[in-house]
Structure 1
């Protein structure tokens, strides 16, 4: 189940990134009330040029839903070990090597 959610997140990011992306880094924060998301998106192309981009709103909405699904999965399966749930994460998708990494954050980290 968790892998399905990770695959969904990776697919959303890949499908909404610039066509020449080889690596995507998305920073995602979700409000404590689970009703607002804050995002930054960066992609690296085959020339190692990094740039920020903004996916269409549907992709951001889909990503937000997938992140809420991941939070629910984490809570429902008691994966917090009694600690507070994470507030966001940094998702790195390595398109070339078909790998995804999610680093969970427990304090706000995106500056507006």
Structure 2
């Protein structure tokens, strides 16, 4: 498993831990500042009825996710990938499928 795949798995595990019981899909929208020391997050989920709701109980997930996103961005840039300022990360709880879309300047 490559380093970026390991980071994706860690992010997915954190998101899996904060999704409510009736959640099928969790969506994280994030923006990370250039210095990697601050980030904003928005967490939504889709329940069994197909309704989208906010995740309100996130505990310490934001701090862990910020560190993982900073690590991911640094790794990707070391691999000659372009700088990105945020991402949309989606995890399907039933299938384990991960999708990620990076937001560039």
On whether the aligned pair clears a TM of 0.5, the verdict is yes
CA RMSD for the aligned pairs? 1.1
Provide the residue aligned with 2:95 in structure 1. 97
Question: TM-score, normalised to structure 2's length?
Answer: 0.91
Show structure 2 runs of 5+ residues with no match.
none
Say whether the 8 Å CA contact 2:18–2:55 is kept in structure 1: no
Q: 1:30 aligns with which of 29, 32, 41?
A: 32
Which 4+ runs in 1 deviate beyond 6 A?
none
Alignment size in residue pairs: 102
- Within the candidate set 11, 14, 18, 2:13 is matched to 11
Supply the distance in 1 between the matched residues of 2:77 and 2:93 (Cα, whole angstroms).
29
Q: Give 1:68's aligned residue.
A: 70
TM-aligned CA deviation for residue 46 of structure 1: 0.9
Q: What's the TM-score once normalised by structure 1's chain length?
A: 0.85
Select which of 43, 46, 51 maps to 1:44.
46
> How far off its partner does 1:79 sit?
2.1
